[in-house]
Structure 1
Amino acid sequence: MAPIYKVALVQLHPKPLSPAQNYEKATSFIRDAAAKGCHLAVLPEYHLTSWVPRESGFKDSCAESAVYLQRYEALAKELGICIVPGTIIESDGGSLLNIAYFISSNGEIVGRYQKKNLWHPERRHLVSSAHEPHTAFDTPLGRVGLLVCWDLAFPEAFRELIADGAQIICLPTFWGMRDVSDEGYALNPDGEALFLNNTVVTRAFENTCAVVFVNAGGPPEKGEKTSFAGLSQVGVPHLGALGRLGRAEGMSIVDLDMDVLRVAEENYKVREDTRPCVLREVPDYH
């Protein structure tokens, strides 16, 4: 019988340029998730610093990224829980990289991914992983892949990961309701929510995988009246969105039944049909 994993969707509201404060809040949520028997906790993109690249202290706030990564490694080992610490901004020769990690329950990093598909305003500040292939990796939850935010719009990224055996794809995100032009927003103020809710579930169906989508949320005191999109959820074929949150900060725990993925693949045969064709010897009739 396939296992059932408890997954914590930690929809933080990151305070700009406050990594210490944001880390402490994230740690509180992760400890709560571990106490409730979760096998995996996933945080949003930019959860330590928020995304404020034009502010003068932004680069300085990213300076201790390695320190916080080590703290998450120690926390994962202490609690016996896998952690995807959203994304962490790292400096490389003056360039900024947006990196997602998968930390195993023994405290070891087993997966690393540098964001490939950068949202248009990010391209002035970040370096893409460009043509590096998307690869999956082995974890206590099986084979997992990592993507980040705008990667959601690129189905080929998911295809690469499932071709490498991924069954779970974790997707830390920092996605707001006003991340479009005024003209686009006027067409539909809920357009970004429509995009997210539909696309997360579509990617799960079309790849017979689980998509663990975790977005930043708005301030708790504002409730749903926020420009943060939130809507963290686990997209699963046959079942749709599990544990979907609203727009405010919070945590949702989802029971992810891996047997559902087996049933989906047996029905849809996506992995079978997208497997590279094996050339067969053609009989010589002459």
Structure 2
Amino acid sequence: MRVSAIQMDMKLGEPEYNFAHAVELVRRAAATGADVITLPETWNVGFFPSENLEALSDREGERVKATFGPLAKELGVNIVAGSVSNVRDGKIYNTSYTFNRQGEVVADYDKTHLFTPMGEHHSFEFGDRLVTFELDGVRCGIVICYDIRFLELVRSLALRGIDLLFVVAQWPKLRTRHWELLNTTRAIENQMFVVATNSCGTAGQTKYAGHSILLDPWGEVLVLGGEGEQILTADLDLEVVRGIRESINVYRDRRPALYEIK
């Protein structure tokens, strides 16, 4: 499976520009022969406008679906369309949509852990469910930015049988080391591929890290981005997952009766 991660530099509070730019970048990524193309977190508005957020947001994912469903079908690719600021039932969610090659929505996920240090919980609603899905027969999961710090969440997805985790983010440059270490640790401890797509550039006072990273289940780096806008592409050999889980079977050797996680 060939995956392209789009490390996008979006403009804060300018969805018209961001939609057009995202489409342009997806078309460029498709030219690499990618099977799956990913975008970062809240690329439609940036992270995140303090004023007029509701007015700038998508509505029930209508614009994302109208844009990327037909585009996925036209290009014949799967698109993990990052996440968008999205109004549903009068509340704003940080929502990810994933499209298969036929342009169908195969997954939608609301960010479950909102980044309270930046006040995300004052503007967005918490998601309340985990999501897994299949792309080209590969079992996948998705988390959004701050979610990656919560090992219980990722292990719960792993126990549902995923081999590939997508992480979409707006991770700041200040904590670049955390970004690389957390994604690497999740890959190793859960014995799965991790495709972590971050944004870049500056929004308000925050400089975003870039450094999107694609990792194999050994925690080896397949490709690592720099700080600027770019498209990173790697081929994932899913047979590696079965091999490592047979040689070091942590799932068999778990002792969940001893774990008290509440």
Indicate the residue corresponding to 1:155 in structure 2: 151
Indicate the residue corresponding to 1:214 in structure 2: 197
Q: 1:10 to 1:208 in 2, by over 3 A?
A: same
Structure 1 residue corresponding to 2:211, chosen from 219, 231, 234: 231
Q: 1:135 to 1:228 in 2, by over 3 A?
A: closer
8 Å CA contact 2:40, 2:170 repeated in 1? yes
Indicate the residue corresponding to 2:126 in structure 1: 128
Task: Note the C-alpha offset of 1:113.
Answer: 0.9
Structure 2 residue corresponding to 1:87, chosen from 80, 83, 86: 83
Structure 2 residue corresponding to 1:201, chosen from 148, 169, 184: 184
Greater Rg by CA? 1
For the aligned residues, what is the CA RMSD?
Answer: 1.9
Task: Note the C-alpha offset of 1:217.
Answer: 1.0
For 1:274 and 1:193, how far apart are their aligned partners in 2? 31
Unaligned runs of 5+ in 2: 258-262
TM superposition score normalised by structure 1: 0.83
Indicate the residue corresponding to 2:53 in structure 1: 58
Output the amino acid matched with 1:126.
F
Task: Note the C-alpha offset of 1:274.
Answer: 4.2
The residue correspondences of 1:137-286 to structure 2 (distance < 5 A) are 137-178=133-174, 192-218=175-201, 227-274=207-254
Identity %: 29
Unaligned runs of 5+ in 1: 179-191, 220-225, 278-286
Indicate the residue corresponding to 1:37 in structure 2: 33
Q: 1:50 to 1:168 in 2, by over 3 A?
A: same
Task: Note the C-alpha offset of 1:143.
Answer: 0.6
For 1:202 and 1:165, how far apart are their aligned partners in 2? 18
For 1:83 and 1:271, how far apart are their aligned partners in 2? 30
Structure 2 residue corresponding to 1:28, chosen from 21, 24, 27: 24
3-state SS of 1:252 partner: strand
Structure 1 residue corresponding to 2:98, chosen from 97, 102, 106: 102
For 2:142 and 2:218, how far apart are their aligned partners in 1? 22
Q: 1:276 to 1:103 in 2, by over 3 A?
A: farther
For 1:235 and 1:275, how far apart are their aligned partners in 2? 27
TM superposition score normalised by structure 2: 0.90
3-state SS of 2:201 partner: coil
3-state SS of 1:166 partner: coil
Output the amino acid matched with 2:228.
A
Output the amino acid matched with 1:218.
G
